[in-house]
Chains A and B, each alone.
Chain A
Amino acid sequence: MSTAAPAPPRHPLDGLPQLADYQDQPAQQPAGAVGKDAYLRLGFARRGERTVLADLHRRAPLLVQQALYFDEGMPDLPCVFMISTSGGILQGDRYAVDITLDPGAQAHVTTQAATKIQQMDANYATMVQDITLAAGSYLEFLPDPIIPYRDSRYASRTRLCVAADATALYAEILLPGRKHHRDGEIFAYRLYSAAVQGVRPDGRELFAENLVIEPGTWPVDAPGLMGGYHVLANAILMTPPETAARVAAQAPVGHTGTGDDRTATGISVLPNDAGLIYKVLGMETEPVRAQVRAFWSVVRREVTGNEVPDNFRWR
């Protein structure tokens, strides 16, 4: 019997070139160990007028309790909060989330709080998301912002497999760090990388985006990159071309606000009739969120005919 510690399991993103410099093992627990390999499987199915969370599988530290029906604009829409029972994302974490919508199903998925990527001194954390939408289904995937702390290293890969007549709205808001923590922690992380790929159910690739941000090797605030802005929202809308055209005509773009309230917003048509991509740059979270919310409102109205209700005062 060997006394050597077993090799940590290989995860799908372990071979990424941007992770090559961070292959050391955490002192606490090996990468991907029990308690660090969170998994969520959410399956939504249509039952009459309503969509239900028909399939739920969870492994700590990610947790989903049940679908709630609190959206006054769409009372039949199940709203699911992804909860972390950990203090955030830690070095060596290997998370995976699978979300499936059956034909005609509708769902709203978000988080209970911002995703905090904790400070790291070894290894990295990864997230693999597979989101699959069957014919005629509709998903709003709108998590709270992501906050990468000092020296954190994080890589995610999201695959959006969306039927030609379905609609997926997928939005991420990335903060520069704990901006107002002590003297300010702005772009002090080592690596944030986020790959999103859009495919059809037959496997055909429609578009791909692979953002790799390494503030230590390249000045992320430089013109052309963040260009002096601190917050980035990246919203991808996969939807049929006619819907995309109506959304693009109404979505707010250009410049808003001044000083810390200023934002710059652009919308582009994705290749292969996949839909739209909507990017917002800003100094603070709330003005950027407001732009994303305005975009979301147009999307929901054009796709479902319903309004996005007023924000909860505590969110």
Chain B
Amino acid sequence: MTTLAEGPEGLAAVTGVLRALQFGDSMFPVGGFSFSNGVETALAEGTVHDAVTLSRWVRAATRNAATGDGVAVLHAHRAALRGDLDGVAAADRAVYVRKLNEETRTMTVRTGRKLAEAAARIVPGPMVDGWLERISTGQTAGCYPAGLGVSGVALGLAETDVFAMHQYSLAATMVGAAVRLLPLHHLAAQEVLFEVNGHCAGDYQTARGRELADMSGFAPQVDVLAAVHVRAHVRMFMN
């Protein structure tokens, strides 16, 4: 392990970590904190009730995201890197048509748009501006994974970093929601997050070679509970 940032690349890595921390933070104002990604319903149903069950639930979600949205993040990033907005739009469409639940669609479109707006304001450039323009004119849905790929390129981040941000923000959102809903110690919650994050590198290995058409997942209980949640009367989160 190196201890010194050597030369311009090392110094760029210092900045890169900060950019990833800022844009990947669960408090970054894309509105992610108002969504629980199914945790609220899982708690209400008793499926999640302690640190162990929370850990399994969040890990199932990140694994599912890796073979699904995570693949689109990588494709959007690669397209943005070669200046190909149509390629980003293809990744965006692949995400949108796979969101088979109203609330997950609402979430990805809403957070994706806010991310594009933030990127266009903080790191403007032809790609982010062009992407926001396509969203604003209704040419594309603007889902979060596509926006993250475009923003990641604007921030100068590698695809591994952007993939990690995607997986982290999902896990952090879910754990953050659980802390507010469960009697769960803050440090126990951080242990869950730490453990789940340990799987991210392996998930990247799985996702990196996949085509958009290969995007897959399997989480029927999440799907069923998400559908039940749409009809719940008392709830704190959007999903």
Contacts and interface: CB of A to CB of B under 8 A. Distances in A.
Interface string A183-215: 000000000010100000000011111111100
A272 B47 CA distance: 31
B54 to A, nearest CB: 9
Given A208-B98, A210-B98, A225-B219, A266 B60 contact: no
Interface in A113-152: none
A232 B220 contact: yes
A253 interface: yes
Contacts of B67: 212
A226 B216 contact: no
Consensus secondary structure, chain A interface: strand
Contacts of B228: 253-254, 264, 266
Contacts of A229: 221
A204 to B, nearest CB: 10
A222 interface: yes
Interface size class of B (residues with CB under 8 A): 35 or more
A266 B53 contact: no
A8 interface: no
B13 interface: no
Interface string B40-68: 00100001100001001100110110010
A105 interface: no
Nearest to A227: B221
B214 interface: yes
Given A17-B214, A268-B227, A223 B56 contact: yes
Contacts of B233: none
A227 B225 CA distance: 11
Interface string B153-165: 0000000000000
Contact of A211 (B94, B209, B216): B216
A224 B98 contact: no
B110 interface: no
Contact of B42 (A213, A223, A266, A270): A223
B97 A265 contact: no
B102 A224 contact: no
A226 B102 CA distance: 21
Of B224, B227, B231, the most chain A CB neighbours within 10 A belong to B224
A206 B214 contact: no
B195 interface: no
A69 to B, nearest CB: 35
B218 A279 contact: no
A269 B231 CA distance: 12
A173 to B, nearest CB: 12
Nearest to B38: A224
Nearest to B47: A223
A270 to B, nearest CB: 6
Nearest to A174: B220
Contacts of B224: 264-266, 279-281
A277 interface: yes
A16 interface: yes
B120 interface: no
A279 B96 contact: no
A223 B54 CA distance: 9
B102 A208 contact: no
B178 interface: no
B223 interface: yes
A241 to B, nearest CB: 13
A218 interface: yes
Given A211-B217, A218-B63, A271 B96 contact: yes
Contact of B223 (A193, A268, A269): A268
Contact of A271 (B38, B97, B214, B222): B97
Nearest to B55: A223
A267 interface: yes
A268 B93 contact: no
Interface in B136-158: none
Shortest beta-carbon contacts, A-B, top 5: A266-B227, A227-B221, A224-B60, A266-B224, A212-B216
10 contacts: A208-B98, A209-B98, A210-B217, A222-B60, A225-B221, A226-B220, A266-B227, A266-B228, A267-B227, A279-B227
Interface of A: 16-18, 193, 195, 205-213, 218, 220, 222-227, 229, 232, 234, 253-254, 264-272, 277, 279-281
Given A212-B67, A253-B227, 14 more contacts: A18-B216, A206-B97, A207-B100, A208-B94, A209-B98, A212-B218, A223-B56, A224-B56, A224-B222, A225-B220, A226-B220, A227-B47, A229-B221, A277-B223
